Amino acid sequence: MNKLNIRKAEKKDAELILKFIRGLAEYEKLSGEVTADEEKIQGTLFTENPKAECIIGYAGEKPVAFAIFFHNYSTFLAKYGLYLEDLFVLPEERGQGYGTQMLRKLAQIAVERDCGRFEWSVLDWNKPAIDFYKALGAKPLNEWTTFRVDGKALKDLAGGK
């Protein structure tokens, strides 16, 4: 396994983060969904009290992976959890253990912060990712269904419609 140097992202990394986001969107066949830009990334990830964080993995000097994560809360545990929003390894760099190292780093952060859980979602068609996560000991929560309200439906709900 090649050693990955993982560090917390900085404001100057906004362009790189956006490239990773676009690469992930392309892989997930969701390129048309990306409205993020460097300014939005800087204004959300690098504020005085950010609600999400980013780490970047480097193989030597080359950035090869990134992860965006934030805290959620478990009422049953009365503890914060760590939620992985996105993890992406460049396609040409996969199979070298970088994804495992990124997940280990996130698990370490969760343990250091006394989180009760570390969770994420995966698209149901992404069998390579599902198999990878299961091999690491992650369990799918098949009895749960994710719901989302966004765009016009979000505005309608907020407005009482």
Supply the residues annotated as catalytic: 133
Q: For strands 79-89 and 117-120, give the pairing.
A: parallel
Check if the beta carbon of residue 41 is closer than 8 Å to that of residue 78: no
Q: How many whole angstroms separate alpha carbon 116 and alpha carbon 124?
A: 25
The interaxial angle of helices 38-45 and 14-27, nearest 10 deg, is 110
Beta bridge partner(s), residue 71: 82
Q: Which helix (H) or strand (E) holds 118?
A: strand 117-120
Residue 22 corresponds to which tokens in the numbers above?
């676009």
